[in-house]
Structure 1
Amino acid sequence: MSPRSRWIPLAVFAALAALLAAGVWLSRNPNRAALPSPLIGKPAPAFSLPVLHEPGRLVSSDELRGAPYLLNVWGSWCPACRDEHPVLTRFAETKRLRVIGYNWKDEHADALRWLERFGNPYWLVLVDHDGQAAIDWGIYGAPETFLVDAAGIVRWKYVGPLTDDVIRDELLPKLEELERGGGERKL
């Protein structure tokens, strides 16, 4: 083994460590919500997904049109989702708009048990067991949250756990903008 080739494993390790550090930094950086989404201003991706509490029932994106909704991506395996859950619950209790749960890459029984333990703030919980529909949404982690208007257009996306500050400073102004625009609001 040449002296130069001895450094290759160290270089590979250093590169992997740098990628891991970048991932940790992104997960803790409050500005990560600023990641742009190509969906903003475009129709929400079409889907037809089963309902967690009624697995034989499918709900399509077309069925959700007519009123704005907040689509919240979560999983029972997601520690940040647990941190976000009380904030999301408080917001859902305002009944300002429908909060749709998007259970991503989760086991059915685990998701049900998680909601039983922490409460169910969702108007409806959709299930994407294999993550295929998430690809069209550009979902790459949980939690992520999308605001979709009554016409089915994505108006806002937030990556990471919602906080009271994010709801007050980002979500509510977007929602007020929708309401001023004459968007129909039905629960």
Structure 2
Amino acid sequence: MKKFLDHLRLTVWTADFAWRVFTAIIIFAGSTTAAFLAYGKTLLLKFGISIWLGFILIIALLLSIIFYFINKARQASAETRLYNKLALEPSSINPLLNNFENKIIPMHSLTLPSSQLHQHKLFRNCKFVGPGVVAIVGSNITNCSFNDIADILILPDPFKSTGVTVFMNCTLDSCEFIKVTLMLPKESAAQLSKLPGVTVATYSK
């Protein structure tokens, strides 16, 4: 409990410090901008339009640098969330069960004694953690998300598989796939490709 309270105090202090820094930057930026514009007006009257174009280029460069660091911060935040998910303790999985809810499922834990075919099973609010490959056929996929997955591979019709986990006529509701390669029929892949971060592999003849 003491560790939790110490962590909470550190979090609150960090947030408060960040807010103070942000406020100071806004105040400084406001006063600096006013002085910069006043100085720019003086130079404009003295040197003409060329100096004004120079100011515009400098401002554009500064904005580009700011947006670059913002994007880098967002990327780092996304990677941190991903690593936090991967660090979660996996659930104890019995691959012979028919219903899985609120489970963290490493793909290797779905290995069956013989054929790797899971039929008519329910997966709700589960996280599938790779590395791994899964073929999904005739299944209902709703409210699922996909994090750091490879391009979706199109399954031929008909298809045969070996050494690959297969979900056939299953229900996948509110699940998340992390570092997993998906194999889907063409129609299902086209539907999922509309989601952010999901792409379908293309083949050239």
What TM-score does the superposition give when structure 2 sets the normalisation length? 0.28
Q: Which of structures 1 and 2 has the bigger CA Rg?
A: 2
Greater relative CO (CA pairs within 8 A, separation 6+): 1
What TM-score does the superposition give when structure 1 sets the normalisation length? 0.31
